[in-house]
Structure 1
Amino acid sequence: MSELTSPLHDRHVALGAKLASFGGWQMPLEYGNGGVLKEHAAVRERVGVFDVSHLGKLMVSGEGAAAYVNSTLSADLDRVGPGGAQYTLCCDEGGGVVDDLIAYRYADDEVGLVPNAANSAEVARRLTESAPAGVTVTDRHRDLAVLAVQGPSSDETLAALGLPAGHDYMSFQVAELDGVPVTVCRTGYTGERGYELIVGAEQAPALWDALLEAGAAYGVLPCGLGARDTLRTEMGYPLHGQDISLDISPVEARLGWAVGWKKPAFWGRDALLAQKEAGPARVLRGLVAQGRGIARPGMRVMLSEHVPVGTVTSGTFSPTLRTSVGLALIDAQVTDGAEVAVDVRGRREIFVVTKPPFVQPSVR
């Protein structure tokens, strides 16, 4: 099966992007502007623009749509009103994470969902199969594009185009640019102040061009998914398939804040309540290197040479800290502040267990 391409694919090729596979899509990993390190720095210090159109786009519509979504996904959607966004989880009945996603509450009868690319169809299937009469789930994965404008100068970049900026974190506004509807969401996956813009796929190239032109005065760079990964790891944000999965629950991943524990129903509720009550045997924690070794997913974490306590789930070189940071699923008795060793290609490298974020964003 051939990979899908973004509506901005031609723009990426023209910019000399190095392309890679992400969830069945061919997307830019980095550009010919200095690569991941420069793109990462642009977001931390100025502003960067990402194409994240590989993310899923689902619309749940009809009378009672918001109530239905709230009865299935983990977070309490009633805590946000129209114009509010919420991080939430789609779990299976055993408490495993099918996917993590953002819910956008347009109205009581319309909720937008943005899951990860690889899991979008599965989330749509589960929601469709359980939907009550009058509620429909529409997959708009190919109809819409998503662009992320992230960094301290993101407000100025949007304002230069006349788009709304400055609204509250985890909220969104629907606006127009040259007559084209654009949903401007105060969300992102970098930890910096920023926005995600949802626009029709056909209108995405013009919006991309306009953002790069408007951001030129602020040192904008087009950024690939390599920088997106280093930025999210510095913040300790989980990646589905590595830090959360069907085998790693929200309780183990320390995502209990994204669970509406008092709700009467959501998928996986009974299993998660039982796990919370018993206490997890393993917990997702952060790691910061004390030496030069770089932690990578799958590497063993040890208290001593003969006592393995877990496994690295995410790991990278932090361009901001100039050392390795990562996340690891380790035994619950190993707490923040402990020193552990990571087996880096046969070498024992010392890391300190540290509560993320590893880097404080410049502006929020």
Structure 2
Amino acid sequence: MMLATALVFIMHLGFASVEAGFTQSKNTVNILFKNTLTPVLGIVTYALLGFSLMYPGEFNGILGFGMDTWDTIWFNSGSADVSEGYADGGYTFWTDFLYQAMFAATAATIVSGAVAERIKLGAYLTFTLFYVGIVYPIIGSWKWGGGFLDELGFVDFAGSTIVHSVGGWGALVGIWLLGPRIGKYNNGSTSEISGSSVPLATIGVFLLWLGWFGFNGGSVLSADPGLTSLVLVTTTLGACGGAIGGHFTSMIVMKRIDFGMVLNGILAGLVGVTAGADIITPFEALFIGAVAGVLVVFSVLLLDKLKLDDCVGAVSVHLTCGIWGTLATGIFGEGASFMSQLYGVLACGAAAIVGSFIIFYILKVTMGLRVSEEAEKHGLDSEEHGIRGYTILIED
């Protein structure tokens, strides 16, 4: 469990690398700053509010807030009374908290890439505090905290919906309220805004793939060799299927060999198998991943038609393929019900949309969401941080 926690933690470096690689060099420091502060704020906020809302324990306080859980986090030194008998002795309270805190911060990071290059730093960080502290854990409690979705038989093994779709809905609401980057959509056409570093984005994707072994493998919540190894196999084949689906679909539809779609296809496949990685066969994992790779291409093209500017394809990867993976679990997963899966997708989606809209809209009418046109053109590194991520050499 602790090894899995470390693997999920390193996913934040993967997200930072993907986002910095797929966005413009003039915003690199801003991207890295957000991705550094996201786990910092996410973990602290989850300790203050999130974990006690998501896993309230035996005592449910105000709005289901677990006062006993909160008290243990902040005022217990880690003595045996919170370790013995916890989770039937499989792991400790502290292990559980830290592992779940990494998941919580991941949901906010999904939003970061979509709204990059034009959102105010303060607005994004404030959104992160409320989304990780309140919205995500309340939704998560409906399944992982033993709530009504769990009672209905909703299956979401490691979070295709609870983590990825919840983050994806927040990202979609954010880019809708923000509007597109300057110059992205002109005269009915879509302009290609080149990223700063394809090699960095590639490194980020492989770091995320590595981290997914902890994301899904750790969700077994034990060292059971049979089930854990199966989950790692289905996870890997899902990624492979996503790369294949993304590659061939982009060749057919976009008439070019698009490496970006291969990279996002890998992530799409990983998101797709996350809901049912423990109850699907390796062949089904490959198929689910391949379909996710196809869907991510069409989703990216659809968002551009709708003039919804997602800098890194986060909505397409995490929301579109999170929904597909959750529903696919109801089709292929042993013991899962399609109607329960559909109900879970709709319930979590509605809550995430309402929650993220309220937070973003309040921020929009108070502190404002978007940087000035001048700041966006010059780059957020110079305007907000006074330092650039890359040294630019100008030759005569």
* TM-score interval, normalised by the smaller of the two chains: under 0.3
Bigger proportion of residues as strand: 1
Higher RCO structure, 1 or 2 (CA under 8 Å, sep 6+)? 2
Bigger proportion of residues as helix: 2
Normalising by the residue count of structure 1, what TM-score does the alignment of the two structures yield?
0.28
Normalising by the residue count of structure 2, what TM-score does the alignment of the two structures yield?
0.26
